[in-house]
Structure 1
Amino acid sequence: MNVLLVYAHPEPRSLNGSLRDFTVNHLQQAGHAVQVSDLYAMNWKAVLDASDYPEREAGAPFNPSLESKHAFQHGTQAADIAREQEKLRWADTVLLQFPLWWFAMPAILKGWVERVYAYGFAYGVGEHSDTHWGDRYGEGLMKGKRAMLVVTTGGWESHYSPRGVNGPIDDLLFPIHHGILYYPGFDVLPPFVVYRTSRMDEARFAQVREALGQRLDTLGTTAPIPFRQQNGGAYEIPALTLRADLAPDETGFAIHVA
C-alpha cells in the first residue's frame, strides 16, 4: 500500500512528532511505502493567492476558482502544488495528522487543502444534469482511495461526547470528513483521536501507540463511515436535499450517514 501522511505540527519533539515517527516506522516495517508531507518543515505556503498561478494575466481580477482551473488544465500551477497533487495520485491511503486547534485543523493544513485541491482535480469534475450533480460526495478523482484523520486534543473525551461542552467530536470533524475527504471521493475511515494530551505519561503513550498500530494494521479493511452518496438516489437533484423518506423529521450532520 502507498500511504501519504500529511503532517501539521510545528514541533518535531512533540507528542505529534512521536506519533508521526511511530506511524512511519510501523507502516514501513509492515511493507508499505510511505511519503510524508511535513508542512512546517516544508515551510508550506498556507495562503492561496495570485502568486500560485505565475502565468496568469497580469493586472486581471483574481478569481481563485477560474485561475485554479486554467492553471491545472495547462500545467502552470506553482511547483509545490503540483508535487502534492502527484503524491495524492500516488497514494492508496492518505492520513491527515494534526492537533485540534480552536475546533479545527491548523491553518497551515487548511492552506494545503485550499491550494492543492485545484479545480478539475478535487472539485469541478463530472457532468451536471437533472440526475447527476458533478462527481463528488462519494465520486471524484479520489474514489477508490482511503483516508483517515489522526487527531490530538487537550480536552477530555467527555468534553467531546454527545452532551459535552465542546460538542460531539463527530460533528466537529464532519466538515473535514464529509467536505474535505468524502467530497472528492475518499472512503473516510473513523478517526483516531487522542484526548487529554497534557496528561500523557510513558504507560499511557504505550497504550496510544498500541491502539494506533492496530488502526494502521487495518487501514485496508476497516469499514469507512457510511456517508450517503450524492448521486446514489438519496438526494433530490438539483436541490441536493435528502429525500423526505430518509431520516424523516431529523436534521443535522447525522442525516448524511446511512
Structure 2
Amino acid sequence: MNVLIVYAHPERRSLNGAINDFTVERLRANGHDVQVSDLYAMNWKAPLDANDVRERNADAPFHASRDSKHAFANGLQSRDIEMEQDKLRWADALILQFPMWWFSMPAIMKGWVERVYAYGFGYGVGEHSDTHWGDRYGEGMMAGKRAMIVVTTGGWESHYSARGINGPIDDILFPIQHGVLFYPGFDVLPPFVLYETHRMDDARLKATYDALGTRLDRLWDDTPIAYRKQNHGDYAIPQLVLRDELAAGTSGFGAHID
C-alpha cells in the first residue's frame, strides 16, 4: 500500500522527528511505499492567496473559493499544490503528524490543508439537490482511503479527559478528524496521541514505539471511527440536521458518531 505522511515540526532532531523516522521505517518494513511531505523542510507556503493561481488577472479581487475552482478546473494551480494533490491521489492512506499547538495543528499544516484541498478536489464536489448535498462527509475524492492523526502534546492525559480542563481529546481533534479528514471521504482511524512529551526517557520511548508500531501494523485492519455519512439517510437534506429519531437526547460532536 501507499502511505503519505504529512509532517509538521520545525526541528528534525525533536521527539516528533524521531517518531516520524520510526513511522517511515516501520511502514517500509511492512512492505508499504511511503512518501513524506516534511512541510518545514519544504518551506511550505502556508497562506492561501492570489499567488496560488497562475496566469491570474492581477487587477481582479481575489476570491478564495472562486479562484481555487478556476485554477483547479483549468490546470492553473501553483505547482506545489499540484504535487501534493498528486501525492494524495497516489496514497492509500494518509497520516497527519504534528505537535498540538494551541489546541490544533501548527499553522503550516493548516495552510497545507487550505491550499491543497482546492475547490473541486477537497470540496465543492458532487451534485447538490434535495436528496444529495455534495460528495462529502464519507464521500468525495478521498473515499476508500484511510487516515490517522499522530499527535504529541505536553499536557497530561487527564487534562484531556472527559472532565479535564482542556476538554476531551476527541472533541479537540473532531474538527480535524471529522472535518479535514472525513469531509473529503477518508475512513478515519482513532488517533495516536502521546501525552507529556517533556517526560520522555528511554523506557517510555520504547513503549511509545511499541504502541505506535502496533497501530501502524494494523493500519488496514483497525475499525475506523463510525462517523455518520451525510447522504445515507441519517441527515435531513438540505437542512443537514441529524434526524430526530437518531441519537435522541444527544447533541454536540458525539451525535455524529453511530
State the one-letter code of the partner of 1:169. I
CA deviation digits over 1:147-182, x for unaligned, max 9?
000000000001000000000000000000000000
> How many residue pairs were aligned?
258
Deviation at 1:54, TM superposition (A): 2.1
CA deviation digits over 1:185-242, x for unaligned, max 9?
0000000000000000000000000000000000001100000000000000000000
Find runs of 4+ consecutive structure 1 residues off by over 4 angstroms. none
State the one-letter code of the partner of 2:203. A
Equivalent residue number for residue 226 of structure 1:
226
TM-score normalised to structure 2 length: 0.99
RMSD: 0.5
Alignment gaps of 5+ in structure 2: none
Residue 211 (structure 1) aligned with residue 211 (structure 2): yes
Equivalent residue number for residue 25 of structure 2:
25
State the one-letter code of the partner of 1:191. P
CA deviation digits over 1:114-158, x for unaligned, max 9?
000000001001111110000000000100000000000000001
Equivalent residue number for residue 80 of structure 1:
80
Equivalent residue number for residue 164 of structure 2:
164
State the one-letter code of the partner of 1:41. A
Residue 113 (structure 1) aligned with residue 113 (structure 2): yes
SS of the counterpart of 1:59?
coil
CA–CA separation in structure 2 for the residues paired with 1:26 and 1:254: 33
CA deviation digits over 1:61-89, x for unaligned, max 9?
11110110010011110000000000000
State the one-letter code of the partner of 1:35. Q
**Mean CA deviation greater in 55-64 or 229-238:** 55-64
CA deviation digits over 1:82-127, x for unaligned, max 9?
0000000000000000000000000000000000000000100111
Deviation at 1:250, TM superposition (A): 1.6
CA–CA separation in structure 2 for the residues paired with 1:3 and 1:50: 31
CA–CA separation in structure 2 for the residues paired with 1:130 and 1:27: 43
Deviation at 1:51, TM superposition (A): 0.5
CA–CA separation in structure 2 for the residues paired with 1:29 and 1:138: 30
Residue 196 (structure 1) aligned with residue 196 (structure 2): yes
CA–CA separation in structure 2 for the residues paired with 1:248 and 1:220: 32
TM-score normalised to structure 1 length: 0.99
CA–CA separation in structure 1 for the residues paired with 2:9 and 2:153: 12
Equivalent residue number for residue 236 of structure 2:
236
CA–CA separation in structure 2 for the residues paired with 1:25 and 1:227: 31
Deviation at 1:249, TM superposition (A): 2.1
Equivalent residue number for residue 8 of structure 2:
8
CA–CA separation in structure 1 for the residues paired with 2:56 and 2:246: 46
SS of the counterpart of 2:171?
helix
Equivalent residue number for residue 130 of structure 1:
130
Equivalent residue number for residue 142 of structure 2:
142
SS of the counterpart of 2:209?
helix
Alignment gaps of 5+ in structure 1: none
CA–CA separation in structure 2 for the residues paired with 1:243 and 1:250: 11
State the one-letter code of the partner of 2:16. N
CA–CA separation in structure 2 for the residues paired with 1:159 and 1:21: 28
Equivalent residue number for residue 180 of structure 2:
180
CA–CA separation in structure 1 for the residues paired with 2:203 and 2:100: 23
